[in-house]
Structure 1
């Protein structure tokens, strides 16, 4: 509940930021929000600094008139909903349901903790630093899926899925299951590169028990949770109800990745298949669909990054990218698939999403016979530091930040900002023959960047690949780029680790924030710094800005309609927060 209230405060829901009056009490600061009947709501707060000046604290929300404490999400959201515009009341009801789903999921995670730890130990071993290759990366995905999102308070909930569906298909349970398939007439299916480009593992209709369709149809994968009413409705909307055939025979065993709708082929973990799902995460409107335009934009984004790396040799070999040029769709958001192929040569490396670094490593299972005193309960980053950085997690973070911020600021110099959040960037660690540690980054999913078209053409040439389907990608100034750079690269991939490692006692917050600012300053200083140039822009709008943009994810994703929020893109709708990079060096 503290995370929920903190998010509502950060996003100024019902005026919690802008309509409140600070009140000092014996136990600290409270914010007083007047209500229409002369009463008031009182919110106790504590200094935060990450993406909000204040964070909620116990005893949560209180009514001033009678001292009644509102301690459940239903009570809190009902009280705040009464202050909202009547047009938004349905959004509060939807968010209350998100909270219920998330609470149930968190309880399920607690009940199954030892069970999943035993599964991971049996398949991969007891030390996350030894979970190597892309198969080991799936185990890291499982740990990341059990960790809260740095910003969105109900991220562990998935709309409309019950316990059986989660256990059978969600990454936090590390299950295996077979994909379902439909046979679609050739003329109704678009395949990038043609059918010959599809992976060798792709079944023919005959392999699915439909030999009579072998010459007229192609197979398209369907997530098992989409089979049923969602698939029937999709086929009807696409005009395929009488021509596409759902195969009764499942085919190709897979393991879910952190994104859940993307699955890894069990027998070939270098091949991931992204299939749409009729569910939502990180907000009611953040549906897990795949529009055909997303697929084309992913290719355009990949080509753009390849063009930059070709001009920046220091990133060749240190920035890796999955190939996302092969896909198929039947011109409907639930009838599509992306074939993501990862680079070879990673079998001996640890490949972990950034989202897993602060996850707690498995411990406590009777099969593991471990305890907190013997190393249990440590973070994934601690285990990785033991193997690769002499036991120093801050040194590991430092190496990661050097490469990450150099890469992302270089892209900014070309006019590009990526939505490469913690789930879309993996840290790749291994030892060179000489014994020293090699640090690389592995990227995927570049279908939603922000691109300053004029600068890209000026730096990469007039024929730079800018054929994006989504008109929101291309812009004519840097503000959309700095917004994305700040909310994704800085907040999620740098700042969250400074505050997170401080919270876990690995170092003082001031020391870690100094590290982030130093590494970002070094990266910015490598750019052109004249007036209006990229370096000057990042310095003014990020390093030295009085405030920084912050995602308003709850408002845009669930509480408010697009008409009410004004969000052109629910994942790029912002409020403001403090600039934690402005702190005085040496302060805590």
Structure 2
């Protein structure tokens, strides 16, 4: 048997299943987009009988071939088939392990550990994807039994948790292994991850009051907050504060946090749990089952969206989130049209003991949403129990079945809000998970659409523009813990605006809805551009004005920044990638907004 025949027989015997093929396709597209080992910039296109391939020269007469097709969303090309082909012998690498191993061999020796980490990340994610497939029917039947058959009728903040569950089964628009969470096995995921819609009781640790920072004092806490006495520790009632701990953090992670904080001998872990909770899409944030309008964000000793993207809570992010909340309230007070259309969760109440695993954020949602559909944007393209898209159900109820009309209304309000903030010198890290659509129709009247925002930390603020627009009300750098927050560089704001608001909250839906056949891609991209252009015009486009900055860097730019999330999050160390912030580390890609016609 010849070499090629042996290779073909081996490949047939080890052919990956649909889950691995799908994940590998996303991984290859992400690595191409981020130009890992030169896949994008060092390759040359070759035309083969089945289509276009990119050829990466390995030297010594060998090369790796990647089959690609036109894409346009953050990269000109995407992987067409889930494989790499070795040119010398025709061998096809069709498993995640084979592909990552082949690319690892091309990496700098200093970076190969990151490829090993990514291989494990892929393995864990693949197991999670398979688990999702196994339990999908069980989960959807449970959701239907609890909330009803039609997702558009899943109302209030409790219904929003059901939408979180659907969203958790959908792949991230950019990060290929987003469904994975490092270090967690199947049993842990089923017990605590949002895709399974479980309920569980929070654990609590009694921490000396003098070690706790609680800016609003005990009176700022919800009435349901347990005291040490309620937790079975009456002797600590006057001296200690009860801090919630996620059950997954109990054990070695908590012991290490206490040791590092010098609190090992001064704290007591209560045996008695308290407050039943339901995980939200972020997993570390849980809603109280008895009061879904109250969420507690508690640290988790795991990572998602990259090994370095740990799900802990640095105390400084709590300070910064509260400061941004005050800033947004200040802007809305000046821009009254948003008072009834942009809602915010209250994130001013928090506590911490000086460690990223000893912290909590109390998030209170606005009242009066019981009859509204509260749907995270991340759930719009997810699959409802009947197999249709969630956005289609919402369009049926609120927009006469016109899905494009719904996304049009969403983009109109979203771009008006985000460009207005940009005019003040504010760019938010408000991605799909952090923005919910609030839809209702009072008394059978016209549909009302509002935005509901949460998680305000991680912005970029333009120092001079804030001062010019808000005067004495402008926040000072000293109000924030993260020194990276303030800048005098417009590009830092436009990069964040583009990668979050444009790519994740607009472009992803244009490409996604086109892929699902809801409208032609060019029609949807024209809608995105037109609504953004209208919002930009309101800022003024004379030289130096904020609108001119957005037009130059977004609408008419020859290319757009793209998050290099795998590179900064797992493959390379911060020293090797140069990323000051792993969530704001960029490469570049095509400007799909230019497809709608010549720059105007």
In the TM superposition, 1:451-466 aligns within 5 A as: 451-466=461-476
Q: Quick check: 2:84–2:94 contact (8 Å CA) kept in 1?
A: yes
Q: Does 2:584 match 1:561?
A: no
The answer to which of 300-309 and 431-440 deviates more is: 431-440
Cα distance, 1:557 vs structure 2: 0.1
Distance (whole Å) between structure 2 residues aligned to residue 298 and residue 58 of structure 1: 42
Q: Quick check: 2:374–2:437 contact (8 Å CA) kept in 1?
A: yes
Q: Quick check: 1:230–1:278 contact (8 Å CA) kept in 2?
A: yes
Residue among 397, 405, 410 paired with 1:395: 405
Q: Does 2:517 match 1:502?
A: no
Distance (whole Å) between structure 1 residues aligned to residue 252 and residue 101 of structure 2: 33
SS in 2 for 1:398: helix
Q: Does 2:525 match 1:525?
A: no
2:293 counterpart residue number: 270
Cα distance, 1:434 vs structure 2: 5.7
Cα-to-partner distance string for 1:467-501 (whole Å, 9 max, x where unaligned):
11101110012101000000000000000000000
Q: Does 2:96 match 1:86?
A: no
SS in 2 for 1:301: helix
Residue among 512, 524, 542 paired with 1:512: 524
Q: Does 2:153 match 1:130?
A: yes
Give the alignment's TM-score, normalised by structure 1.
Answer: 0.97
Distance (whole Å) between structure 2 residues aligned to residue 161 and residue 393 of structure 1: 37
2:559 counterpart residue number: 547
Q: Does 2:500 match 1:488?
A: yes
Cα-to-partner distance string for 1:506-563 (whole Å, 9 max, x where unaligned):
1110110010001000000000211111000000100000000000000000000000
Distance (whole Å) between structure 2 residues aligned to residue 301 and residue 468 of structure 1: 9
Q: Quick check: 1:358–1:380 contact (8 Å CA) kept in 2?
A: yes
Cα-to-partner distance string for 1:210-263 (whole Å, 9 max, x where unaligned):
011001111000000000000001011111100010000000000000000000
In the TM superposition, 1:161-200 aligns within 5 A as: 161-200=184-223
In the TM superposition, 1:57-456 aligns within 5 A as: 57-58=80-81, 60-362=83-385, 376-433=386-443, 435-456=445-466
Distance (whole Å) between structure 1 residues aligned to residue 540 and residue 596 of structure 2: 26
Distance (whole Å) between structure 2 residues aligned to residue 450 and residue 548 of structure 1: 18
Distance (whole Å) between structure 2 residues aligned to residue 144 and residue 473 of structure 1: 30
Q: Does 2:74 match 1:51?
A: yes
SS in 1 for 2:118: helix
Q: Quick check: 1:59–1:69 contact (8 Å CA) kept in 2?
A: no
Cα-to-partner distance string for 1:171-227 (whole Å, 9 max, x where unaligned):
000000000000011101111211111111100101100011001111000000000
SS in 1 for 2:547: helix
Distance (whole Å) between structure 1 residues aligned to residue 585 and residue 366 of structure 2: 34
The answer to which of 397-406 and 53-62 deviates more is: 53-62
SS in 2 for 1:35: strand
Cα distance, 1:57 vs structure 2: 1.1
For structure 2, list consecutive stretches of 5 or more residues without a partner in the other structure: 1-23
Distance (whole Å) between structure 1 residues aligned to residue 47 and residue 400 of structure 2: 46
Q: Quick check: 2:100–2:119 contact (8 Å CA) kept in 1?
A: yes
Distance (whole Å) between structure 2 residues aligned to residue 58 and residue 271 of structure 1: 45
Q: Which has the higher helix share?
A: 2
Q: Quick check: 2:28–2:82 contact (8 Å CA) kept in 1?
A: no
Cα distance, 1:59 vs structure 2: 5.4
Distance (whole Å) between structure 1 residues aligned to residue 342 and residue 50 of structure 2: 49
1:29 counterpart residue number: 52
Distance (whole Å) between structure 1 residues aligned to residue 342 and residue 569 of structure 2: 32
Cα distance, 1:464 vs structure 2: 1.4
Cα distance, 1:395 vs structure 2: 0.5
SS in 1 for 2:142: helix
Cα distance, 1:36 vs structure 2: 3.5
Kindly report structure 1 stretches of 4+ aligned residues shifted beyond 2 Å: none
The answer to which of 192-201 and 417-426 deviates more is: 192-201
Distance (whole Å) between structure 1 residues aligned to residue 542 and residue 330 of structure 2: 25
For structure 1, list consecutive stretches of 5 or more residues without a partner in the other structure: 363-375
The answer to which of 33-42 and 221-230 deviates more is: 33-42
Q: How many residues align?
A: 573
Cα distance, 1:377 vs structure 2: 1.0
1:476 counterpart residue number: 488
Q: Quick check: 2:525–2:596 contact (8 Å CA) kept in 1?
A: no
Q: Quick check: 2:83–2:95 contact (8 Å CA) kept in 1?
A: no
Q: Quick check: 1:486–1:542 contact (8 Å CA) kept in 2?
A: yes
1:580 counterpart residue number: 592
Give the alignment's TM-score, normalised by structure 2.
Answer: 0.95
